[in-house]
Amino acid sequence: MGDLTNSDFYAKNQRNSSSANHEGDFGVSVMELRGLMELRGGEAVVKIQEDYGDMDGLCQRLKTSPTEGLSGDVTDLEKRKEAFGQNLIPPKKPKTFLELIWEALQDVTLIILEVAALISLGLSFYQPPGGDTGDSCGTAAGGGEDEGEAESGWIEGAAILLSVACVVLVTAFNDWSKEKQFRGLQSRIEQEQKFQVVRGAQVIQLPVADIVVGDIAQIKYGDLLPADGVLIQGNDLKIDESSLTGESDHVKKTADRDPMLLSGTHVMEGSGRMLVTAVGVNSQTGIIFTLLGAGEVGEEEKKEKRVKKQDGAAAMEMQPLKSAEGGETEEKKKTNVSKKEKSVLQGKLTKLAVQIGKAGLVMSAITVIILVLYFAVDNFVLQKRPWLTECTPIYVQYFVKFFIIGVTVLVVAVPEGLPLAVTISLAYSVKKMMKDNNLVRHLDACETMGNATAICSDKTGTLTTNRMTAVACYIGDVHYKEIPDPGVLSNKSLDILVNAISLNSAYTTKILPATKEGGLPMQVGNKTECGLLGLVLKLKRDYQPIRNQIPEEKLYKVYTFNSVRKSMSTVIKLPEGGFRMYSKGASEIVLKKCTKILNAEGEPRVFRPRDKDEMVKKVIEPMACDGLRTICVAYRDFPADPEPLWDNENDILNELTAVCVVGIEDPVRPEVPAAIVRCQRAGITVRMVTGDNLNTARAIAMKCGIIHPGEDFLAIDGKEFNRRIRNEKGEVEQERMDKVWPKLRVLARSSPTDKHTLVKGIIDSTLTDQRQVVAVTGDGTNDGPALKKADVGFAMGIAGTDVAKEASDIILTDDNFSSIVKAVMWGRNVYDSISKFLQFQLTVNVVAVIVAFTGACITQDSPLKAVQMLWVNLIMDTFASLALATEPPTEALLMRKPYGRNKPLISSTMTKNILGHGIYQLVIIFSLLFVGEQIFDIDSGRNAPLHSPPSEHYTIIFNTFVLMQLFNEINARKIHGERNVFDGIFRNPIFCSIVFGTFAIQIVIVQLGGKPFSCTPLDLEKWGWCTFLGLGELVWGQVIATIPNSKLRFLRGAGQLTKKNEMPGDEDMNEDNEEIDHAERELRRGQVLWFRGLSRIQTQIDVVNTFKSGSSFQGQLRRQSSTTSQNQDVTNVSSPSHMSLSNALSPTSTAAPAGQC
């Protein structure tokens, strides 16, 4: 369906374009432009020259100006959209409510129930021939049922079907609202993506969807290109095209050799301007989408781009794996859901659900077997009745009843509410986290964040305000502690300095007047450059006239800033002939390349190595110790003849003349020190990883509270870090890394590779009992690999590049460190919410299964009927997950250490609560079942014949059971043994309304439910007793809280319930092949092979589906890329025996504590 609509959309687009082509009278058609964009390199240049003369010719045909862009006239923009299409790929149609209902109906237990109910329904209408079957069929038909009762036999089957319909509708509605929420999130992310274009000679930011063919777009380092285009002018431009071509090498783009720029590719270096030539479905990415059925894949444009990112910036991680993976890829692709998809909690829950499900299956099978055997032995052996053919339907009806009881036990035992609780809890948290400036891109990132043990944070913008201000400088042999008056400086030095700063910075960087009166001027673009432009303004000069004199296209050559150079240089042609190169960058790096320095008169003098050392000691270090970032500005003149070889960078960026060293202050955000204290109290280690000078970084870390005087910590730079962790061959050794990371607090002058190495080293370490869970912040394009490697990657919403955002899990919309602390709080809250729900659900599970099983074996009938069980299931699954998963977080969550990956999901306190409440409920229910009729002086409901009317006895049991669950739900709000279970209950209106709502529905069911619910109305006195027994749960909860865990030795073993399978293999739980092993390890070898066979078949089906639907293509692509990038890091083998073996054999393995393996 999706494919069809999208091809229609596509065809319509084509029709529009061809007709509009004549109307709009553009000198070029969509198809011509598409043909042009399919060419590469020299071919494209030749084609442009042949067809259009040059780039100006193409601009004229598209009625645009290469310097001023489009006019921005609304009718012109509409014409362009009509002629060339809009810059969006039609989204996939959301699943309809009916489709979601159909999906919910696929649940196996529900299908079994439906079949049983239909058989029961069919048999209830069957009337056996003759009237004397009562005697001949024995107990099967006996009992006091009159004709009316027999006729109402259909009610139970119909009621089960109705209940199934209810469950299905609720599930479908939940899925629908989840999808709606996710789409809202997607559209929010997409609306936030803006791009710089030139319109009416002004550079403006436009939402990506508003870009049209003919726009002149300004591209820069870190951009993700939103449309296809042709480069008009570029500076040192390098593009990562791996998302489209699969080639990981960066492609150099120049206007005269290879000007073709494609949508979805990333700008890795440089800057430039491009003419947009194809948008939306006509762009290269759009064409691929259309081939796959655009709507299918276009489901989330953003997601698709993320897939590309995973091919792209992680190329360094992926490259060596392509051959190494061999035949396993196919299987892993299915089993290895990306680490972003399966979190710590989900791993534990999956395993728990498997264990409970298996136990439930065994119990239900035994129940059915016992009931059938008892019936057969009683009738055909003890009473020696013959099997009469006319009685067969009646016997079958009994067997169906037994089967329904068995299935009901299974329905109650299987905790299908778990995924629902997780989803509700995560969706609720994500919605609330938006208000706390956390835009969550991957749902379970917020839950993983609750387990974080380490945060590696950038300095600039995250810990500091990212409002750079020049506060000190060294110029003309004088160290000024404040910015000097321009009068005291020589004009020559001042002119060179002002020109160097104005020209050798991105022209998109500007300082604009304040928006509010009395406010600070607005800094646009690179903040360090803004600080330097601020220096120009403080020296009473203006940078704009200089830029107007030499516009960007007249710059002769630009060496843009990158993490290797750590400097930026711009070459201009001098009017009197020759060239001048202005350079700026990290002071110690640029000073090393200087051989001269300007003196007080502005004349160059020799700058010897010992002068450099003195300058470092007397100028740079004192500035850095005050927390200032030091930038050196320098220049060099070249002769016109012979022209230098500009590509020979090492010779060009040398023999410079230093002009000035500027100290730029970036104040610490006022709220950061308090946030870091909260982190440390919560057991999270904060490390600063920055590209800045070591002294600057140390000073800021002191101000933030990351390090304290007198503590045993490590603050080193990238060079020292690499020296300590690499062996003679230059390879990183985990053993060496383990000696560095535990004390490391500040890593300065670090490259993105260092950041990735550090994150990987901490994650792979086996030093601690628990595997470290690492969160990382990043804003640059090269932070991509580190953001992806981390358990949770935070990208900066304001300063972050598109590439960093694509690689991240959560976007900090305010770039503020204190928002990360809020994410930790929400993450821990999710974990606790799920634990609360588990405590509640497992109590219901244990009691309901034992009651149904024992009751069925002793009285040949479950005290809780199928429909009643379904209602209980609805209470404990849907309603309880809503009630318990929406508890708001409290500060108390940050007062404890992280749970860690190996901590069992069910703590000993929870086990104590589950068993304690289970015992109370079982005692009450069995007392009511066997002596209830005497206590209340009513008829016994035991051994009732088929289709007999509902008894008061069994109604009391059902009512008491439900009310006990209701009051136990209040107990479940606390899982750490707190006494006050009502604490903060009114802060959660959802919880209150669900408890009261359930109570109201229960009254309706008992009083008016009648035959379908097997209920008979109760009087006030009996209601009072039921409520009293329910309230006993709260009192009993206090009794349980009084018993100390230490007294209950067996709880230690019970607490390990989920732990035993999780130990060594879990060290690397983010290596996803472990995930399937958790479940597999419990199964016998034969079952393992069976699972693997199934998994292979599933993978092959997926591959077939890949060619049918785009979305699965994306999923595969994403899974594959994440598999590839992660499998490189798999060091531990899943099974414990292998683990210890690999440790014993590995020469680099750390001496682990004896008990660890």
Are 208 and 226 in contact, with CB atoms under 8 Å apart?
Answer: yes
Q: Calculate helix-pair angle for 284-291, 2-24, nearest 10 degrees.
A: 140
Q: Cβ neighbours of residue 108 under 8 Å, at least 6 residues apart?
A: none
Q: Which amino acid is at 425?
A: S
Are 1074 and 1066 in contact, with CB atoms under 8 Å apart?
Answer: yes
* Closest to 990 in 3D by CA, of 424, 564, 437: 424
What distance in Å separates the CA atoms of residue 1157 and residue 1146, rounded to the nearest whole number? 14
- CA separation (Å) from 235 to 217, 484, 557? 14, 34, 7
- Measured in residues, the chain has a length of 1157
| Residues linked to residue 480 through DSSP beta bridges, in sequence order | 473
H/E run at residue 243: helix 242-245
Q: How far from each other are the two terminal CA atoms of the chain, in whole angstroms?
A: 53
Are 908 and 914 in contact, with CB atoms under 8 Å apart?
Answer: no
List the Cα angle 211/214/215 in 5-degree steps: 45
Q: Check if 458 is active-site.
A: yes
Place of tokens 């759009």: 286
* Closest to 861 in 3D by CA, of 934, 771, 757, 954: 954
* Closest to 768 in 3D by CA, of 1156, 1063, 344: 1156
- CA separation (Å) from 1009 to 148, 952, 1018, 1083? 18, 13, 11, 43
For 454, phi then psi, to 5°, come to -145, 140
Place of tokens 């009651």: 851
Structure tokens at 1120: 């594959």
Q: Cβ neighbours of residue 323 under 8 Å, at least 6 residues apart?
A: none
Residue tagged active-site, from 436, 444, 458, 764: 458
What distance in Å separates the CA atoms of residue 466 and residue 664, rounded to the nearest whole number? 11
Place of tokens 């945060």: 455
R_g (Cα) of the chain, nearest Å = 36
Are 1036 and 923 in contact, with CB atoms under 8 Å apart?
Answer: no
Are 478 and 600 in contact, with CB atoms under 8 Å apart?
Answer: yes
* Closest to 637 in 3D by CA, of 692, 577, 589: 577
Count CB atoms within 10 A of the CB of residue 498: 18
Q: What is the 3-state secondary structure (H, E, C) of 998-1019?
A: HHHHHHHHHHHCCCCCCCCCCC
Residue 567: helix, strand or coil by DSSP? strand
| Residues tagged active-site | 458
